[in-house]
Amino acid sequence: MPEIVKGLKDVYLDTTESSFIDGQVGKLLYRGYDIHDLAEKSTFEEVVYLLLYGDLPSKEQLAAFDAELRASRRIPDGIITVLEVMKAAHPMDALRTGISALAGYDVAEVADNSVEATIRKGIRLTAQGPTIVAAHHRLRQGLEPLAPNPDLSHAGNFLYMMFGELPDEETTGLLDVDFILHAEHGANASAFAARVTASTISDLHSAVVTGVGTLKGPAHGGAAEEVMKMSLDIGNPENAEEYARNHLESGGRIMGFGHRVYRAEDPRARHLRDRAQALGEKKGEPRWFQILSHLEQKTMLPYRDRGICVNVDFFAGAIYYLLDIRTTCSSPFSHLAASPAGRCSAWSSTRTTS
């Protein structure tokens, strides 16, 4: 009898040069470059170039690539109309539908599956994903979407389109690191789903839509959202111990811990831990990090020896919350995904490469 394994564990589908993961020691490489070096010394634009072309760009190559990204950020007015109809929807639903609708405006290349055309389409989607999310964010608050600012970086422009103010360097850098950390992660569920669609010789837009739909789930990209919901339920650090005990005893799980791949700490988590703490102090809301720290250092500490360690989603949720990135008009929080682009822009480069 065949052995049926859960999820994608021990399922081999292909080889890849885009990333390498050693889950036993908590190691992640993008195209041979350590994630720690990229997070601290690179930019999201450089990392997208690296994933697409296989090496970090020269100064001239980066300038040309960055210019192409900036020139591709605008979305057609028809997409804005679609988002207006969907303004009550979850941001990931709006992102998924927006990308699908973009295929209708890319008629010249939508069916062209050559490597060159696929890279061009991937660059456009990477640039347009944040514009979709930001436009949807503003529409559901009764505000007009803002045109992209060509003078800002990928992360800085996203923040500007979301909130209508020029972001400071520190906040831009924080989101840039977050984008880098979510840019690639091998054959995870959304990348696998996107590749299944691509393997039928469908088009890139369809493959990315498949990936976004998969990414939305709370067992994947939606986990950061669930972590923050849990933190909001706890409310204050002094409630964390009782909440966690009751939750675990009733058969629940503490979100943001454990990973299908890692048996050591997710190497991406360290880059968000200190940043989440600093952002909370800057915003005058240190309690969210204090709740997370209590869960990590006390409640879940005994589980570390069993390979159940903190993952990247654990601190990402608090960062999005503190940046006022929302999933609903009334709740100041969003996991974005993709993607987007918190996660939305992050998944854009990931799915394009995959």
* Alpha-carbon separation of residue 32 from 18, 195, 337 (angstroms): 8, 22, 24
The span from the CA of 84 to the CA of 137, in Å, is 10
Residues 6+ apart with CB under 8 A from 159: 167, 171, 172, 175, 323
Q: Which residues pair with 278 in a beta bridge?
A: none
Cβ pair 276, 289 in contact under 8 A: yes
* Alpha-carbon separation of residue 165 from 4, 13, 146, 242 (angstroms): 51, 45, 10, 40
**Known catalytic residue: 136?**
no
Element housing 27 (H / E) = strand 27-30
Mutual angle of helices 204-215 and 91-102, in 10-degree steps? 170
**Known catalytic residue: 313?**
yes
Candidates 154, 185, 259, 271; catalytic one:
259
Single-letter amino acid code for the residue at 90:
H
The span from the CA of 279 to the CA of 255, in Å, is 21
Residues 6+ apart with CB under 8 A from 264: 23, 24, 25, 26, 307, 309
Candidates 66, 294, 313, 335; catalytic one:
313
Query: Of the candidates 322, 271, 269, 336, which has an alpha carbon nearest to the alpha carbon of residue 296?
Result: 269
Cβ pair 134, 161 in contact under 8 A: yes
Structure tokens at 187: 């054959």
Residue that the structure tokens 């292909």 belong to: 14
Element housing 20 (H / E) = strand 19-22
Mind telling me the catalytic residues? Answer: 259, 313
